[in-house]
Chains A and B, each alone.
Chain A
Amino acid sequence: MFRSRLTFTLILLACLALSLFFVIYPIYVIRPFRPQGAGELAVALVVSRFRAGVTIASAIAALASFAYYWRFQRLWWRRILAAAGALFVCGLAALARVNVYELMFHPIDRASFSESTRSKLDGGEKVIAVMVNGEARAYPIRGMSYHHIINDEVGKTAIVATY
């Protein structure tokens, strides 16, 4: 019985460590005002790509371990501690789905455009301008420097405007 409790405890701790690594490492490496080395960036991006799946699997394993642990553990405070650990792993799985960069810089979900002659934009404002298949479009830089990306279609061509 002791061995079973130990096994489930170790599984729970392993799930916690794994989920913490998959959530925290990319955020640690890929953050503003910090230089990114090529090697660590490559690792961080791979971790990011598999983060959602790994943290879900970890949460499932943590919950299953907790369920078995509950059966074998009589002390109430240890049960609560294990419950908190499993809950934390589930919380990390939810956090893994949050795009912190889009929390900082909200994406443009629904863009609208005005004819240039009707726009109230000041003449001195800088824009990035494109001409695609005869259609002209401009993106004000002050707004683009916040949103950074807009998925658009100009001249029947799908483009991504970036700044």
Chain B
Amino acid sequence: MWTREVDGQRLTFHLAGINNQNFIMRDEETGTYWQQISGLAISGPLKGRQLTPVPSDELTFATWKSEQPKGTVLDDIAQFVPEYAPKNWDVRMQRMPAVIQFAERGMKARDLMLGIQAFGASRGFLLDRVLKEKLVNDHVGAEPVLLVVGEDNQSVRVFRDRIPGVDGAPDFYRLAPPKPGALLMDAATGSEWNFQGCAVSGKSQGVCLERVQALKDYWFDWRNYNPQTTIWGK
């Protein structure tokens, strides 16, 4: 997800090709070609320019709706609905061939990763293991991060594993069973936290953890654009 203004000029993008299974866009205003995953202009008058990322989440609709009752959702375009991916599209995609392979450390091309590029480092988290663990404490570069799986067991968010204004490690753990509106507790302040990373009770009530952007991607694509990536979960 990207903003689409460059130097005050609003750009309109069109699908324009594919580059090792990651698509290329072209803006109609300047004719520049842009790589979808990186937001980088790769050919044309604006070559080398970088679009600004817009933070995003991949969530189930139910989870998103519960958090954003006033939000709006894109309608299906009726005439193209028969072309849309079937409900088991992610299972079918796993079986599709990949045109580039990075068979490192036993990784398969279409292993699903949660990729984080932050704090001067890249780290890929094997999604299956994250979903199984439900709460992962790890590091990206030198920064501690927290990966939290939502109550739907599908949505994942990543936060900086630090409570603003509190020294030391927060030591988060999951509430079992979760309470309505609270998923985690931290041992440092005894506060309860929701899936949006905000404390809903306790000493830290009202404080929110810093979000860290993560990208759900196949291993081959993540590795192609993050050659220095490390891996968690393998």
Contacts and interface: CB of A to CB of B under 8 A. Distances in A.
Nearest to A113: B72
Contacts, number: 213
Contacts of B5: 158
Interface in A121-163: 121-132, 135-151, 157-162
Interface stretch (A1-9, A57-65, A68-76, A97-105): A97-105
Interface string B78-107: 001101111101000000010110000000
Contact of A126 (B13, B21, B58, B100): B58
Contact of A107 (B3, B15, B70, B86): B15
A150 B74 contact: yes
Interface stretch (B61-69, B158-166, B174-182): B61-69
Given A129-B64, A130-B1, A146 B72 contact: no
B205 interface: no
B118 interface: no
B77 interface: yes
Given A130-B54, A146-B83, A147-B80, A159 B4 contact: yes
B43 A45 contact: yes
Interface size class of A (residues with CB under 8 A): 35 or more
Contacts of A128: 1, 56-58
Given A123-B62, A160-B25, A151 B73 contact: no
Contacts of B187: none
Contact of B57 (A42, A129, A158): A129
A158 B1 CA distance: 11
A33 B99 contact: yes
A51 to B, nearest CB: 11
Given A127-B60, A128-B56, A138-B61, A107 B73 contact: no
Given A33-B97, A160-B13, A138 B4 contact: no
Which of A48, A117, A160 has most B Cβ within 10 Å?
A160
A32 B21 contact: yes
Contact of A158 (B10, B21, B59): B10
Contacts of A147: 77, 80
B65 A151 contact: no
A110 to B, nearest CB: 9
Contact of B74 (A99, A106, A113, A123): A113
A26 interface: yes
B183 interface: no
Nearest to A115: B72
Which of A34, A45, A48, A137 has most B Cβ within 10 Å?
A45
Given A112-B74, A145-B85, 7 more contacts: A35-B100, A106-B77, A115-B70, A136-B71, A138-B59, A138-B64, A157-B54
**6 shortest interchain CB distances as A-B pairs:** A123-B62, A136-B71, A45-B43, A136-B68, A30-B17, A113-B72
